[in-house]
Amino acid sequence: MISKRFCPSCIRINQSAIRPRHQQEIAIQKDHKSVYDKVGHHLNEHYFIPMTATILKQYSNQLLHDLNRSYFSPLSYHDQILALKQAKKVVSIQRKIKKHHLILRVTDKGYNFYIGTEKEFDKKVQNFFQDTNAFIELKENPFNKIQDNVIHLLNQIRAKKFILQWQCNKMIPNRIKCQLAHLYFNPKTYKDGIPVRPIENTIHAPTTNISNYLDEIIRPIFDKECQNTTIIDGSSLIQALHQYMRKGLFKSTTLFCTFDIRNLYTMLPQEGALNILVEFLNVHGYTKVKGIPLETIRLLASIVLKENVFVYGKKMYQQVLGGAMGSSFTLALANIFMWKWQKELVRRQDMIGEYYGRYIDDVFMTWNKSENELKKIIENANTWHPNIKLEYKIGKSLPFLDVLLTNINSTLSTSVYHKPAAEPYVVQGIH
């Protein structure tokens, strides 16, 4: 296996400028349609501006003009030569990859590349399949059946008036555009052994519209109800710790603890997560969300989780554990599952005035008792659910997200933290 980081990374000169004109014109038409459709549908849906409105026609013409100007602006002679050299280099790399049976992947949480043999990378993928047992191989293509199931469910709950027609229209899949999701893996070069992270491209999957709508209506509820234990970014963590310090709780002996959940999205128990979703909404006083009864919410969430089929290589798989990392609702569901899982830890921290905060599958805690006692609590938490396993660190100086936090004799020191896997982009011609 060859593992290589290209440092520094660079943004290539505009390659479209050296393409034949007819190829550029095709690209312009695609870009124009993509942007115009999104803007037009947004204005139509939210501001009731008809698609035939004069202002939209004017916008369309201006957009086309701007795209033409952008695409056909000539490069300098120097940049043309550089673009041609870069294009040849890419072709050369492609040939070598094919000749030596290599794979090239963007790394997880980084802007660099991983190069390895196909055989070695496939071994990592198979290890992931075996470790998680989250996927089963299918002998037949169930795509048409899944699409029919999704449409049937939506029409059924619409007929029973559990959802409105506009909600049904928003979630219904487009039969023409629908296609099977496909799976790919990004290598975690920052982890020992370089394991892989699964990513599912579900953009045209039959359940994607349902997933997007559930995320749209449920994520704001989670954000509102769980803001006290949610870390948004490194800056919000620093602000929370300053509040902790103002209470006089930050001492020279204060320890930090960070831990992350291994493969959270993949390891979510499907039925358990659905039950917790309904429990979460009930606990916070919801019997309906946007007029949709909770049992219907559960049905919609269930079909997103359970009708998750994808292609990897030349085989088809169904996910039987967890949700698709790449499906928008999976994040909201994972957060809600963790709301339930972390309750005991949050309760304990609140009782003794310590801080607990979580950013998706990464947790940060403060501690003023013995390190051994903290270890026992974390190791006990590791037994709460068979699918949820923690990897933790304890110390007076720990990184979390993009911040390095250090306790220097009861003074909080913070600095920007650059993960070893992260590499900056270098823009050509800027010094």
**Shared-domain flag, residues 317 and 346:** no
By CB atoms closer than 10 A (0-12, 13-18, 19+), residue 307 is buried
**Shared-domain flag, residues 348 and 360:** yes
Show the beta-strand stretches assigned E in 48-195: 102-106, 113-117, 135-138, 181-187
**Shared-domain flag, residues 388 and 343:** yes
Q: What is the pLDDT of residue 31?
A: 95
pLDDT, mean of residues 170-196: 91
User: Edge-to-edge strand order for the sheet containing 403-408?
Assistant: 397-400, 403-408, 411-416
Domain count, the chain: 3
User: If pLDDT is split at 50, 70 and 90, which confidence band does 1 have?
Assistant: very low
Residues above pLDDT 90, as percent of the chain: 77
Residue 427 has pLDDT above 60, yes or no: no
pLDDT digits (tens, 9 = 90+) for 28-59: 999 999 999 999 999 988 899 999 999 999 99
Residues above pLDDT 70, as percent of the chain: 93
Q: Which amino acid is at 37?
A: D
Domain's final residue, options 280, 297, 321: 321
User: If pLDDT is split at 50, 70 and 90, which confidence band does 189 have?
Assistant: confident
**Shared-domain flag, residues 344 and 401:** yes
Residue 3 has pLDDT above 60, yes or no: no
pTM of the model: 0.80
Q: What is the pLDDT of residue 76?
A: 85
**Shared-domain flag, residues 248 and 217:** no
Closest CA to 343 of 217, 198, 229: 229
**Shared-domain flag, residues 130 and 189:** yes
Radius of gyration of the chain (CA): 25
pLDDT, mean of residues 219-238: 96
pLDDT digits (tens, 9 = 90+) for 93-146: 999 999 999 999 988 877 788 999 999 999 999 999 998 899 999 999 999 999
CATH number for the domain spanning 378: value is 3.30.70
Residue 415 has pLDDT above 60, yes or no: yes
Q: What is the pLDDT of residue 7?
A: 42
Identify whether 31 is part of a domain: yes
Q: Which amino acid is at 185?
A: F
**Shared-domain flag, residues 218 and 149:** yes
Identify whether 330 is part of a domain: no
pLDDT digits (tens, 9 = 90+) for 75-91: 888 888 888 888 898 89
Identify whether 155 is part of a domain: yes
CA distances to 107, 187, 197, 299, 426 from 420, rounded to whole Å, are: 12, 14, 17, 42, 17
Q: What is the pLDDT of residue 90?
A: 86
pLDDT digits (tens, 9 = 90+) for 353-399: 999 999 999 999 999 999 999 999 999 999 998 888 899 999 999 99
**Shared-domain flag, residues 130 and 209:** yes
**Shared-domain flag, residues 243 and 207:** no
Domain's final residue, options 53, 81, 96: 96
Q: What is the pLDDT of residue 10?
A: 58
Tell me if residue 282 falls in helix, strand or coil: helix
Identify whether 301 is part of a domain: yes
Identify whether 119 is part of a domain: no
d(CA 20, CA 22): 6
**Shared-domain flag, residues 15 and 82:** yes
**Shared-domain flag, residues 240 and 161:** no
Identify whether 160 is part of a domain: yes
Q: What is the pLDDT of residue 219?
A: 96
Identify whether 291 is part of a domain: yes
Identify whether 425 is part of a domain: no
Residue 425 has pLDDT above 60, yes or no: no
Tell me if residue 265 falls in helix, strand or coil: helix
**Shared-domain flag, residues 140 and 37:** no
Note whether 182 and 314 are within 8 A (CB).
Answer: no
Query: In which domain, by residue range, is 386 found?
Result: 229-263+335-416
